[in-house]
Structure 1
Amino acid sequence: MRQPRLASVVERRLLVNYRIAPDVAARLLPGPLRPQLVRGHAVAGICLLRLGRVRPAWAPKAFGLRSENAAHRIAVEWDGPDGVESGVYIPRRDTASRLNAWAGGRLFPGEHGRADFEVHETPHLMRVALATRDGDVRVDVTVEPSDELRGSELFADLPEASRFFQGGAKGFSATSSGCHLDGMELRTDAWHVKAGRVRSAASSFFDDPDRFPPGSVTLDCALVMLDIPAGWRPLPAMRSERGARLVG
């Protein structure tokens, strides 16, 4: 069955980014993926995404749905038919939407777990917390707007960070079968990111010492996208050379 293209509005996309020891990141990746390095570091993070007006691309906006979603991501590259390609590997996706959880992996690429979200947003502060229904993942992040990107060891400034993440629009997700990776590409003609300053960040995924030994992971920076029209294009599934099952 051909999977439909989706249209949406990215009402809020909060990217909380970490720099990771390359060898540690590599152990989390299935083949043929490898870490994409920036200044000697692998790049990973949490995408906290509220989508509005989600619908098949042909449908009127009035039929769109709204949902809170989260994805844990690692920036990757791989050898494509025309050279090296880049994107992100997503070991886990979670959503507050029952429909997204049912449809993901069936009607569109990307299997989702269920999570409960707590969101508090003002013009001066943004807090997003979640706890997955299976009890495996908890996230609690508070970010405030900033006029420039400060303190990052990955990126010299906001334009450099923006270019990096714009180039990682292709996402490949782990699946329950472990035999292949589901693919989805974000497309927008209105790409724009703002800098954020992290006031606090806790993640049971990145704080797990068995997954990330002490000293191998460091919080780096945050970026925010607001009210961006965006489309989502299914990509052909990628064969996984090593099993890539959903991470708990």
Structure 2
Amino acid sequence: MTIIRDVRAQLRRRLLISYRVDPEVASSLLPEGFRPQLVGGSALAGVCVLGLESIRPKWMPRRWGLRSENAAHRIAVEWDGPDGVERGVFIIGRHSSAWHPVLFGGRLFPGVHRKARFRIQESGDRYAVTMQAGEHSLDADVEVSGDWSSGVFESLDAASDFYRAGRIGWSRGRDGRSVEPVALETDAWKVEAAHLHHLRSSFFDALPEGSAVFDSVVVMRDLPLVLSDAGRRHEAGSLSPAGP
């Protein structure tokens, strides 16, 4: 099977919802070889909700592209690469509304996904998102506001730099033990501060009481993206953490 190593898409909307997490709890969620990246003494984890359209290999015309809603639960991590400490995110699980990432993710192109149902309500600068996938659920109501509030990032620019540096996302392969990297890149990076009206995450709510506290949320909109097999260009190919 031919592997599609670069997938292009247009980002309609991306919500980056972050929690401050107890470092020991975060460590318990990671495979060997990764450790939480600490900011202000806390691990940073969260949910990335993406609405994508025009999803296609780079050689395919944009008008033939597909569309999907997606959510990824993730933890900011560090690992020891050949040139020293490197940073990115470990993705605990990916969910999608579409059939193509569920069937072909981790096979035809990188990134294993699970099927989920999404309901999205968009009204101007406000986004209400619900996701249901078996026992996993998410319910978030976010509004772009321009007002910044965070317990770890002193400014929106600091948060933007942090998220941009975490472009490489590791996740388990289809065998459940190996891990594979995917890079998310754009040449038009821009984030906007947002206000949270409501949040419920079955994943974070199930962690030990008080170990995961909402920190902040940013929104990205209307940007071109490239999702690539980071293993082809990234020198972390020697990193092969195995699950417990």
The two structures have a TM-score, normalised by structure 2, of: 0.94
1:61–1:162 distance in 2 versus 1, CA, 3 Å = same
1:78–1:35 distance in 2 versus 1, CA, 3 Å = same
Q: What percent identity do the matched residue pairs reach?
A: 43
Show CA shifts across 1:80-111 (max 9, x none).
11111111101110000011110101111111
Query: Residues of 1 paired with 2:3 and 2:200: CA distance?
Result: 39
Does 2:167 align with 1:138?
Answer: no
Q: Per the alignment, in what secondary structure is the counterpart of residue 155 of structure 1?
A: coil
Alignment of 1:200-219 (within 5 A): 200-208=198-206, 212-219=207-214
Does 2:182 align with 1:184?
Answer: yes
Deviation at 1:221, TM superposition (A): 0.6
Does 2:224 align with 1:229?
Answer: yes
What one-letter code is carried by the residue in structure 1 that aligns with 2:92?
A: P
Give the total of aligned pairs.
238
What residue ranges of structure 1 are gaps of 5+ in the alignment? none
1:186–1:124 distance in 2 versus 1, CA, 3 Å = closer
Query: Residues of 2 paired with 1:77 and 1:119: CA distance?
Result: 33
Q: Per the alignment, in what secondary structure is the counterpart of residue 116 of structure 2?
A: strand
What one-letter code is carried by the residue in structure 1 that aligns with 2:24?
A: D
Deviation at 1:232, TM superposition (A): 1.2
The question of whether the paired residues in 1 share the 8 Å contact of 2:10 and 2:222 is answered with yes
In the other structure, the counterpart of 1:148 is 147
> Which moved further from structure 2: 2-11 or 89-98?
2-11
Query: Residues of 1 paired with 2:27 and 2:162: CA distance?
Result: 19
Q: Per the alignment, in what secondary structure is the counterpart of residue 204 of structure 2?
A: coil
Show CA shifts across 1:20-45 (max 9, x none).
01111001000211100100000000
What one-letter code is carried by the residue in structure 2 that aligns with 1:194?
A: E
The question of whether the paired residues in 2 share the 8 Å contact of 1:67 and 1:97 is answered with yes
Deviation at 1:72, TM superposition (A): 0.3
Alignment of 1:7-86 (within 5 A): 7-86=8-87
> Which moved further from structure 2: 164-173 or 234-243?
234-243
In the other structure, the counterpart of 2:243 is 243
Query: Residues of 2 paired with 1:228 and 1:26: CA distance?
Result: 33
Q: Per the alignment, in what secondary structure is the counterpart of residue 156 of structure 1?
A: coil
Query: Residues of 1 paired with 2:180 and 2:188: CA distance?
Result: 25
Deviation at 1:235, TM superposition (A): 2.2
Query: Residues of 1 paired with 2:125 and 2:159: CA distance?
Result: 22
The two structures have a TM-score, normalised by structure 1, of: 0.92
Query: Residues of 1 paired with 2:100 and 2:185: CA distance?
Result: 22
Query: Residues of 2 paired with 1:241 and 1:67: CA distance?
Result: 30
What residue ranges of structure 2 are gaps of 5+ in the alignment? 232-236
The question of whether the paired residues in 2 share the 8 Å contact of 1:180 and 1:238 is answered with no
Deviation at 1:238, TM superposition (A): 6.7
What one-letter code is carried by the residue in structure 1 that aligns with 2:127?
A: M
Deviation at 1:179, TM superposition (A): 2.5
Deviation at 1:182, TM superposition (A): 2.0
The question of whether the paired residues in 2 share the 8 Å contact of 1:179 and 1:239 is answered with no
The question of whether the paired residues in 1 share the 8 Å contact of 2:129 and 2:141 is answered with yes
What one-letter code is carried by the residue in structure 2 that aligns with 1:181?
A: V
What one-letter code is carried by the residue in structure 2 that aligns with 1:235?
A: A
RMSD: 1.4
> Which moved further from structure 2: 190-199 or 141-150?
141-150
Show CA shifts across 1:131-172 (max 9, x none).
01xx1201000011111312x112001000000000000001
